[in-house]
A and B are shown apart, each in its own frame.
Chain A
Amino acid sequence: MNVAVLVKQIPDPELLPALDPDTFRMVRGSGFVIDDADRYGVEVALSLRDASGGGEVTAVSMTPGGETGGLRAALAMGVDKALVVSDTELAGTDALSTAKVLAAALARVAPDLVIAATESTDGYTGTVPVQIAELLGWPSISYATTVACVDELVSATRQTDAGTEDVECPLPVVVSVTAGIVEPRYPSMRGIMSAKSKPIATLSVADLGIDSGAVGAIGARQAVISATVAPPRAGGVIVVDEGDAHEHIIELLAELRLI
């Protein structure tokens, strides 16, 4: 089975982000990594490929600056090849246009199944995978905690607000997974070495036949008009426990008439 997995490359979250005071865009650190949320998607994609006994996993990413660090990490985990849509015009693209670009790229890959994460760590709109499904005219399964595929029928368990539901769907389908679903594998030394020789194809927005006016900050139909720092909560009392710190909690509980 051929699986495409979405890999968002984000500035290393260990380096704290900031908002540019003039453009209200995230100021990006250097060094792009694979979004941790997508490592789970990669793991699911690899196990589905292996269980199906053949086929390829293609990682697909959109990024303004030609970054490939996160894709290399996916290749090192065992992904077969990668496709990156890169264009400086993509900076500031909203979620819907992101979905349009990724859907066009996925149409080139023509996979049987698309795996994504439920939400990205830095954008967390959580809408991109289902927007892609709608653009492709495909069904979607979001919030999946388990995914299997037998005889072209995908079965999954998904989290709902009320509990869980077990669902089934024939291929093709977009599945977005939540972290915790599986333990993502760590790349082996051999994986890291072989990742260097695996192919990463690059496409521009124009290559996909998308009008550059429809993407980026120019094409975005939402505008940030201000960013203000919320007043911090008044500093609290910190007590180091020496065997009786719980008494401070008792006091508060009594004050709030909870005991």
Chain B
Amino acid sequence: MANVLLSRILVLLEPSGDERIIASSSAELLSGARQFAAVVDACSWNGSALAATAGRYGARRLLSVQVAEGELPEPVAARALAAAIWADPPDAILVPHTNRGRDVAARLSVLLDSPVLTNVVGLEMSDEGPVSLHAVFGGETVVRARFTGAGPGLFLVRPKTFAAVDEEGAGKAELVNLETGDATGTDRVRVVSRHVPQADAIALDDAAVVVSGGRGLGSADNYALVEELAALLHAASGASRAIVDAGWVSYSHQVGQTGKVVKPDLYIAVGISGALQHRVGMKDSKHIVAINSDPDAPIFSIADLGIVGDATKVLPRLIAAIQSR
């Protein structure tokens, strides 16, 4: 397929948890966009603190709208972004498939009257414009799709689709302040308080090794075994949604369709059945080890090493063996 370069892509950026730099999924998207377009511009809210990192990952300009403390950024950002797109239409719009990114894209899609291509896991260029790749059935089938409407296509791209490339030495992105449009009542949500759990020593998104637990651990207390193994391997600890829903661990540990996407060198799944929605979050790990008492558990079909056994017996032995080395 010919690698046709677009002239300009617009990328939505989000601040990371500490608000001074862009989130890693946003940095990935900037670097990804750089492969396809001569110019990449970014758009975010309260962007003055973000211009430096946006520039390092290749943004020329950072269009930014002011969002007041206690206001949800999504509806405000969508309006400002729509106005910027009408004024100077890019060839494509990329938005990170995160909780906030998804809401911005949904509102933007109505404002632009343009559908969103969601859950994008890859982009290709064709003579007829960008082609998006989508993983269906837990990644067993890859669907290629194209936006066929008028105007720029709107793509919600899953984290870890592209690698972030720090273009060291690149200057700050040029900050352009956008007018706050009339949100026509869509901005009535007030944020009363925010709770950001103390950052784990090793961030799940970027960990080289991830140890995750699921319902097969049997009880919340047994999750300590997962944490102990993770600590020994300098790994991050993850979870299936079943145990997040059950309240054993916080949502920040959830891996999968509605949680984090991870691509570590090694992923150890303990007591996790391997539902499609879990697999899409971890199937691209370089090595996968699964411990599960059911020999027919779907997780074994993607495991490089599968242990059919009781996790509450295998884990303590594994931990002891590592400790005695």
Contacts and interface: CB of A to CB of B under 8 A. Distances in A.
B148 A140 contact: no
Interface string A90-125: 000011110100000000000000000011000011
B80 interface: no
A212 interface: no
Interface string A222-259: 11111111101110111111010111111011001011
A139 B295 contact: no
Given A139-B188, A180-B244, A237-B304, A221 B148 contact: yes
A122 to B, nearest CB: 10
A222 B144 CA distance: 11
Contacts, number: 254
Contacts of A128: 106
A1 interface: no
B318 A249 contact: yes
Contacts of B193: 165-166
A164 interface: yes
B171 interface: no
Contacts of B266: 252-253, 256, 258
A24 interface: yes
Interface string B11-47: 0001011000001000000000000000000000000
Interface residues of A, number: 79
B116 A96 contact: yes
Interface in B250-293: 251-252, 257-258, 265-266, 268, 283, 287-289
A256 B287 contact: yes
A159 B197 CA distance: 12
A95 to B, nearest CB: 6
B107 to A, nearest CB: 4
B181 interface: no
B245 A161 contact: no
A124 B257 contact: yes
Nearest to A250: B321
Nearest to A96: B115
Interface stretch (B52-60, B61-69, B215-223, B309-317): B309-317
Interface in A120-136: 124-131, 133-135
B88 interface: no
A141 interface: yes
A119 B156 CA distance: 14
A178 B14 CA distance: 22
A173 interface: yes
Interface stretch (B2-10, B97-105, B162-170, B172-180): B97-105
Contacts of A127: 102, 105-106, 109, 116, 118, 156
A193 B75 CA distance: 43
Contacts of B287: 252, 256
Contacts of A239: 305-308
A160 interface: yes
Most A C-beta atoms less than 10 A away, residue of B105, B115, B144: B115
B148 A222 contact: yes
Most A C-beta atoms less than 10 A away, residue of B114, B140, B194, B257: B194
B84 interface: no
A249 B116 contact: no
Contact of A248 (B98, B137, B305): B305
A142 B102 contact: yes
Given A19-B136, A127-B118, A140 B194 contact: no
A31 interface: no
A27 interface: no
A247 B321 contact: yes
B295 to A, nearest CB: 7
Interface in A176-215: 178-180
Contact of B114 (A221, A227, A228): A221
A229 B241 contact: no
Contacts of A17: 137
A222 B145 contact: yes
Contacts of B142: 227-230
A170 to B, nearest CB: 6
Contacts of B306: 236-239
A168 B70 CA distance: 10
B141 A227 contact: yes
Interface of A: 17, 19, 24, 94-97, 99, 118-119, 124-131, 133-135, 137-143, 145, 155, 158-170, 173, 178-180, 220-230, 232-234, 236-241, 243, 245-250, 252-253, 256, 258-259
Given A124-B118, A166-B195, 11 more contacts: A96-B113, A96-B114, A118-B258, A119-B257, A129-B106, A140-B103, A166-B192, A173-B188, A238-B303, A249-B305, A258-B266
20 contacts: A19-B141, A95-B118, A96-B115, A133-B107, A139-B189, A163-B194, A165-B193, A166-B191, A166-B195, A168-B189, A173-B189, A180-B241, A221-B114, A222-B145, A222-B149, A225-B131, A228-B141, A236-B304, A236-B306, A259-B232
